[in-house]
Amino acid sequence: MIISSALMHLAVNFFVLLVFCRFAGMTLYLGSLLVPVVLLPLVLLSLGCSWFLASLGVYLRDMAQVIGIIANVSLFMAPVFYPIDALPEEFRSIVEWNPITLPVIQVRELLLWGAPVQWSHWVTSLIVCCFVCVTGYLWFQKTRRGFSDVI
């Protein structure tokens, strides 16, 4: 439910961004319409992680505090506030392992420069994120039988 709410906010904000860019005279690239496709692996990853962490949170009560710290660290470890080219070469490979990095880079390239999507990277990311999503769902289904015992 939270993911669908976040996707609705994303759709509205993306529409507002496109309208603003149009009125500001900025160049709108046709590839901007591929932003939802580029974000699909991230949505699947988020869904799988949320299923896994929701079931784990039932058994480990302090997960919420740990997840907040991990979310902040992963946000600052992704090139959201800086371009990945600004990093020294030895740190780029570490940052590229962050699952947020590829969608951030691809959305930036689509919106700002009209660059094409790196489909090979996207497909690899989609496969990994589908695996995480299915694994998280299966984990949740397996562990939910014990929720009533713990709560």
Q: What is the pLDDT of residues 46-60, one digit of tens each?
A: 999 999 999 998 888
Residue 140: pLDDT over 90: yes
Which of 39-48, 62-71, 122-131 has the least mean pLDDT?
62-71
Tens digit of pLDDT for each residue in 74-128?
A: 888 899 888 898 999 988 888 988 889 999 999 999 988 889 999 999 999 999 9
Structure token digits, residue 121: 């990277």
In the 8-state DSSP scheme, what is residue 100? Answer: T
Report the alpha-carbon distance of residue 77 to residue 55 in Å, rounded.
Answer: 26
